[in-house]
Every structure is written in C-alpha cells, then in structure tokens.
Structure 1
Amino acid sequence: MKNHHRYRLFLLLGVWVLFSCSPFKPVERPDAAGEIPDAYALYDEEPDHSLPWWESMGSAELNRLIDAALSNNFTLKEAWYRLQQARSLAVQAGAALYPDLSASGTIELTRRRSENTFGGSIGSIGDESYAAGLVSNYELDLWGRIRSQREAALLAVDATQADLQTAGITLAAEVADRWIRILAQRLQKQLLEKQLANNLIFLELIELRFRKAMVSALDVYQQKQVVENVRAKIPLVEAETGLLMHELAVLLGRPPRADLGLKQMDMPAIGRLPALGLPADLLANRPDVRAAGMRLKAAEWQVAAARANRLPAIQFTAGAQYGRSDLDLLFDTWLLSLAANLTAPIFDAGRRAAEVDRTRAAADENLWTYRQAVLTAIKEVEDALESETRQLEHIQGLIAVKDAAQKGFQEAIGRYRSGLSDYLPVLTQLLAVQDLERDLISQQALLILYRIGLYRALGGDWTVDVGPHQGTVGDTK
C-alpha cells in the first residue's frame, strides 16, 4: 500500500513538473520584411484605399462589369472554396485541444437446443447479451505541440483569405484592362472608318485632276494604295475587339460570345494620381504581401510543433461500459475506467530531428519569399509611377508632333493644288498624320492601363468582403 501511494505521489509530481515547463513558441523576426525605402521616388502622400478605385474613373459601365466579375468569376470561386477548405483544416487542428468522445454498442443473441434424458427434444433456450459504452481520449498539450499546429492552421486560413483578396484585386484590374483595350479598338475602328472616308474623297479629287490631265496616273495609284491600306486594317481591329470581348466575357463567368451590353465609346478620365502613402503601407495594403507574412509565421509555428514532438507526451483514456440486462439498474452498474499513458521517443533514426530541420528550412524559405514579395510590391508601385509619368510626357510630345504634321499636310496640299509640287509630299504628310492619330489612341489607352496597374500595385482594404457570395463590393448579405 505504501508503494502504491508513493507511485501516485511520484506521478503527480511528474505531471506538475511537466506542466511547469513553458511550451515552445515561434521565433520572433522583427526585421522579416527587410529593408524598406522611406518614400517613393516621385510622390509621398497619405494613403486612402478604402473605396474601390474604379469608381474614380466615373464609368457606370465599368462599375457594372467589375461588380459582375467579383460575383461570378470562376477563378474567384475557386479561391473562395480553397478558403473554406483551410477553415475546415483549422477546425481539425484545433479539435485535438479537447477530449473526444465515442459511443459503442453491441447486441448478441444465441439459441441452443435442449434434450431430455431419453434423447428427445424439449425445445430451445435463448440467451441475449448487450453492452453499451463511452470512450474518451485526450492528450495533455504539455509543450504546445497541438496549440502550435492550431496556430499554424489559423494563419494558413488568414493567408488563404489574403489569397482570395489578391484574386479580387487582380480580377478587377483584368476586367478594367480588357474594357479599356476594347474601347481603344472601337475608337481605332471609328478613326479608321473616318480616315477611309477622307482618303476616298482625296482619291476622287485626284482622279478628277487625272481626267483633266493635270496629274499623272502615279498619283492615282499612290492614293489607291493609301485607301486599301486603311481598309485592310479594319478587319484586324475587329478581330482584336472580338478576342478581347471573349476574354472579358470569361472573366465575368459568361460564355465567350455573350452580349455584355458595352455601349461606352469614349475613354474615361483618370484624373490626378491617387494618394500613395509610404512603401511600408504596402505591408498592410497588399494582400499578397500579407499572405507571405502569414505563411512565414505559420512556418515558425510548425517549427515549434516539430520541436515539441520530440518530447514526452501524456495521453488519458477514459471509458464507461454498461453490460447488465436490467434497465432499472442502468445508472448503478456502469463500469468506469481511467488510464494514463506516457510515451517518450527514445530512438527513431533521427526522424523527429530531421523534421525540425525541415520545418526550420521551410521557415527560412518563407522568410525570403516574404522579403521578395515586399520588394516586388514596392517595385510595382515605382514602375507604375515611372511609366505613367513618362507616358504622359510622351503623349504631350505626340500631340505636338501631330499638330506639326497637320500643318505640314495643309501646306503640302496647298502647294500640290498650286502645281508647285508633286503628290509625294502630300502622301508623306497624309500618312504621318493618320499614323499619329492612330498612335495617340493607343498611347492614351496605355496611359490609363498604367494607372490601372498603379491601383493594382497599391492594393487596398476594399477587398475585405470580396467573395462569390457577395453581389457587390461591401455587400455582406
């Protein structure tokens, strides 16, 4: 009896010692983001990314398209259900912190034949037995292994939520990109048709002068070449418009040839640059950067779990079983049992130590992935700022070139009509003006695309409610 009490005393003392030990915790990395510039090269303002950026472009059509895409896009739905999977895995990881409870029951019926002393049968005798029981298992999380796994799973949920928000930001930018390109192609076609009509008028005038023997046939053929050259460009513009319409329809979760109801025919105004804030703001405003940071923290928790797995573990098993046939005694005849099991790894050929090394290497990998994401985000903002600034200067230069070309064309026309020159200077200036007109449409569209790229690079917190269950941004029903 003394030995029994002594054993219980040692067991309680051991449990107290184990409980007094601190569980493993992840390593803090205060400099995980690496070196971040103090400000952007061109601008420095307070950030304001709470509203959807496309509303600043003043197009109801674009608003409608992006809202439809955020509700119906298939890629966004995939990201949403990956989030649901991550949430379920987090529930599974946290379930081990609580005891489980299982029920079991068995019923057995037997019947045997009974004979008298003369070998004759007098009937059969039946027996029945049953048992019902409850079993519970629970592991004491002495070193924080289970808690670490739960924390890693919860961070994985947050990272997957950020992935969903990244998909929403990318989707909004892609829809706006296709819409701007479609507008540009429509304006190109409109311009080509106008140029074709003007070139046909010039052709009629040249043919009239040819019939009066005022010009040579070469002038007629040169102008016909200009006419056919413009006419040949129209099918290419129509084809490009059709392909862009197909891409936009798929982004909206609709068949490629679906009618999207696009009616706008003028480019939207982008206004002045939005408030940018500081490069450090991207750590919070860019969901892809947040996701990389959360995966780094999750990897650190996995290291803590792997370290805790090398230490002893205590598991409790409790059971209750009832096997009597008298239901009236149900609460008096339960057989209860409680057992504790201590397991400690002695030799595993280095498997657990290797797992610690693997998780540490994975954490270091995630560290550099996070730093790369931070630098890439800053670079994308700087690229968008530089591109838009220089593109605006380029457009201003093109406008000046076009003005000069138009004046040169008018001068060449006057000299040609006065007989002071042949048709070649007129043709040269005509082609220059028309090429510049078409190029200006493309460059103005590219300027807007750079602004869209800037919005995409800045991120923002308008993505909080992004998901296929929302009808529009901000709708939480």
Structure 2
Amino acid sequence: MELPEKWWLSFEDSTLNEIVRQALDSNLNLITALKRYEAAQAVVDRESSSLFPQVSGFVQSAFSRPEPDFVGGENVQFGLRASYEVDLWGRIRAQIDAEEYRATAAYNDMKAAAISLSAEITTIWYRLEAAAVQLQILQQQAETNQKILKLIRARFGSGQIRAVDILRQQQLVESTLQQQYAVETLLALLKNQLAVLLGETPQNIQEPELDSLPSLPPLPQTGIPAELITRRPDVQASFSALKAADRELAAAISNQYPRLTLNTNLSFRSNNFQNLFDNYAYSLAGNLLAPIFYGGQLSAEVDRTEAVKDQRFYEYGQTVLVAFREVEDALVQENKQKEIIEALTQQVKLADKVSRQLRVEYFNGLSDYLAVLTALNQEQQLRRDLITARLNLLEFRISLYRALAGGFEIRGETEEEPVN
C-alpha cells in the first residue's frame, strides 16, 4: 500500500479527519511557523532589492537674507539621486541565495510542524478512545466484582465463607473503582490537550463521541532511502540550511574584494517654482572601494562562515541518519507489538478460563479464595493490558507515518513550493 498524502485518512475515521483539518487551520504553533516563513520570504525580497538601483528624490525650498544670489532671496531645489552597486564578485547574489535557502528551510520547518501536529492529534485522539474503552472495561469489571461480593456475603451466613474472603473481595472492588477514577481523570486531561491543539480553550471543546479502537490499516510502502530523504521536510530543511551556509561563505569571501558603486545626481534649481526646470545640473560618478587593512576582520568572517557550513553539513548528515532510524524503529516496534498482542490475547483467554474454573471450585468448597482472587485480578488486568497494547500498536503506526512524512496541504500553503 502506498503512503497516502493525508495519512490519517487510512484510519477511516470521519471525526478524526475533521479535527485534524481544524488543527491544521487553527493551531497557534502552526500559524506561528507560517508567519516565520512569511517573514523569511520578506527578507528575501528585502535582499533582492540590492540588485536594483536605489533612487531617492528631494525637494528643498528656503529663503535667504541678505539676497546675494537670487532676486527675492528664494532658493528652490528639486532633484533625484541614485546609487547602484555592481555585483562584480557575486556577493549580493550569494546573500540573496542564502536568504532564499533560509526561506525554503522555514517552509519545510512549517511542513514538519504540520506533520508533528497531525501525528500528535491522532495520538491523543486514539488515547482518548483507548481511555474510553478502558473505562467501559473497568465499569464492567466493577459490576462483576460487586456481584461476586454479594455471592460471598450471601454464603457467609451459612458458615461456608470466611470473613477475610469478604474483605479481600471488598478490597478488589475498591481497587477497581480507584482505577476507574484515574482513567476518568486521564480522559479529562486528554480532552484539554486536544482543545489546545485545536486552538480552543478547554471549555469550548465539544465532548467527542468515542466508540472503540480501530483496526490497523495495511502497512504502507516505505520506499527506498532516497525517497525518504526527498520526502521528509526536516531533512529538506536541514539541507536548505546547509546550502544557505554555503552561500554565506561565498558572500564572506567576495566581501574581501573591491566594490564598485555607481552614483548619479540630477538637480533643478531656481529662485522660484515657475523657473524651476530652467536650470539643472547632473553628475555621474563611479567609486571603487577596496579593503586594505581591517585587522583580520574579513578573514575571520570567512573562517566563521566556513565553520558554520561544516556544522550544517554534519547536522544534515545526523538528520538523515535519524530519519532512517525512525523508520526502522517504527517497523520493528510494530512487528514486535503484533506478537505481544497475540500473546496477550492468548493469556486473556487462558486467564478467563482459569478464573471461571477456580470460582466454581471455590463455591463448591474445593479451592481457597486467595487463588480465586489472584486469578480474577490477573484476568481483569490482562484485559486492560490488551487495550493498552492495541493503543501502543496504533501509536507505532502513527510513528511510522510520521517518519515517512506523508505530504499534505496546510494553512496558507501555495500550490508550489518555494523555488530556489
């Protein structure tokens, strides 16, 4: 099975689909990541302006006393000034490229945040369902324990049951109620977590309708390692950071070379506004500025940017290795968890048989109640453990989807990714 773009659709849960969609639209952390990308894109536009001349206009009007130069003493000036740096060594272009790569990294960081958000939402949703199922099981077990307690008390009057057996069963009843209260607390806390991820206050979230844990979807194709590298946004963000550092190094090296700047000035001057355009002057100049002695500042900046580039290179390599490990970990965990569930299922069946058989023997006077209590407690715990194991299996699958990084649209995303 190929990995779907919106991987959570594979669970075929309409409620889950809706809350993930709402989270991708309303989660405040994701909106923050979007604004961070927009800010990075604005920096690209700002740096790109260096490729064009910087033009400014001025108007000046003044009166002078006494009047040596102009009749009436009025001085009016209007003009334009322009400057342009010729990108001889590619320094400006390298700086622009560096900011473009940073914007691409911010874009991929936003996508990584969206993948993490969808995985967190899905995990909390199924933890909610697992807690709801656990609560149902505990309520059923509490009823069973109460019934057994009534049977024991009914036989106590005839002298067939010891008082300590009643106390032990009462203790089991109270223990079941205590676990029920703990699960109810967990349910409330999970709902609060879900509300925050949806960009809502806990008071505004509606009570989710919970049924049971879903079946595991078919295993997706993991593809080849090269596909994983191109698909995971955190890997792409790290690679973009590496390329940005490389372009910063190029800019630092170019900064050691001379700069050529062209300046032009056009001005009109008159003693009144009516004759303003009769007299004008213009100038065109070229300035060549070459660094001679900066006390090692420029070479130190080259060394710094080169070290940063090396740092980004090793960070990228580490990110790739972690990506491979996360996929392999999720696959191993899922396969072993399936075996654990099979073993737990068999234990539940056997524990149920043992518990029923010991209860029959006990009420017939053939067994001690401590053995009955131990078997009953073990059987009930195994049933709860089985739900937890099924939840863990779902979480391992969610981890696999997250590691494979299925693509999907997020709030404010355009149809095409940034182009470097």
Q: 1:439 aligns with which of 367, 385, 390?
A: 385
Q: Distance in 1 between matches of 2:256 and 2:4?
A: 47
Query: What is the deviation of 1:244?
Result: 1.1
For each residue in 1:174-217, what CA deviation from the matched residue of structure 2 results, as whole angstroms up to 9, or x when unmatched?
A: 11111111111111111111100011001111111111222111
The correspondence of residues 266-285 of structure 1 with structure 2, limited to 5 A, is 266-285=212-231
Q: Which residue of 1 aligns with 2:96?
A: 150
Q: 1:177 aligns with which of 90, 113, 123?
A: 123
Farther-moved stretch of structure 1 (179-188 vs 416-425): 416-425
Does residue 75 of the first structure (1) align with residue 21 of the second (2)? Answer: no
Q: Which residue of 1 aligns with 2:168?
A: 222
Q: Which residue of 1 aligns with 2:410?
A: 466
Q: Distance in 2 between matches of 1:99 and 1:288?
A: 37
Aligned partner of 1:215: which letter? I
Query: What is the deviation of 1:422?
Result: 2.1
Q: CA RMSD in A?
A: 2.0
Query: What is the deviation of 1:325?
Result: 4.2
**Tell me, which stretches of 5 or more residues in structure 2 are unaligned?**
none
Q: Which residue of 2 aligns with 1:334?
A: 280
Q: Which structure features the higher share of helix residues? A: 2
Query: What is the deviation of 1:406?
Result: 0.8
Higher-Rg structure is: 1
For each residue in 1:107-135, what CA deviation from the matched residue of structure 2 results, as whole angstroms up to 9, or x when unmatched?
A: 1134669xxxxxxxxxxx95321101100
Query: What is the deviation of 1:50?
Result: 5.0
Aligned partner of 1:64: which letter? E
Q: 1:352 aligns with which of 276, 283, 298?
A: 298
Identity of aligned residues (%): 37
Aligned partner of 1:267: which letter? L
TM-score (norm 2): 0.95
* 2:200 aligned counterpart, secondary structure: coil
Q: Which residue of 1 aligns with 2:56?
A: 102
**Tell me, which stretches of 5 or more residues in structure 1 are unaligned?**
1-44, 114-124
Q: Distance in 1 between matches of 2:298 and 2:4?
A: 47
Q: 2:351 aligns with which of 383, 391, 405?
A: 405
Q: Is 1:321–1:335's contact at 8 Å kept on the other side of the alignment? A: yes
* 1:93 aligned counterpart, secondary structure: helix
Q: Which residue of 2 aligns with 1:195?
A: 141
Q: Distance in 1 between matches of 2:134 and 2:157?
A: 34
Farther-moved stretch of structure 1 (399-408 vs 102-111): 102-111
Q: Is 1:184–1:442's contact at 8 Å kept on the other side of the alignment? A: yes
Q: Which residue of 2 aligns with 1:87?
A: 41
Q: Distance in 1 between matches of 2:344 and 2:400?
A: 23
Q: Distance in 2 between matches of 1:108 and 1:329?
A: 15
Q: Is 1:100–1:136's contact at 8 Å kept on the other side of the alignment? A: yes
* 1:96 aligned counterpart, secondary structure: helix
Query: What is the deviation of 1:165?
Result: 0.2
Q: Which residue of 1 aligns with 2:241?
A: 295
Q: Which residue of 2 aligns with 1:135?
A: 81
Query: What is the deviation of 1:328?
Result: 6.1
TM-score (norm 1): 0.84
**Residues 381 and 337 from structure 1, CA distance in 2 versus in 1: closer, same or farther, beyond 3 angstroms?**
same
* 2:73 aligned counterpart, secondary structure: strand
Aligned partner of 2:258: which letter? P
Name the count of aligned residue pairs.
414
Farther-moved stretch of structure 1 (66-75 vs 264-273): 264-273
Q: Distance in 2 between matches of 1:85 and 1:198?
A: 61
Q: Which residue of 1 aligns with 2:16?
A: 62
Does residue 364 of the first structure (1) align with residue 310 of the second (2)? Answer: yes
Q: Distance in 2 between matches of 1:128 and 1:327?
A: 10
Query: What is the deviation of 1:146?
Result: 0.1
Runs of 4+ in 1 over 6 A off after TM superposition: none
Q: Distance in 2 between matches of 1:336 and 1:262?
A: 75
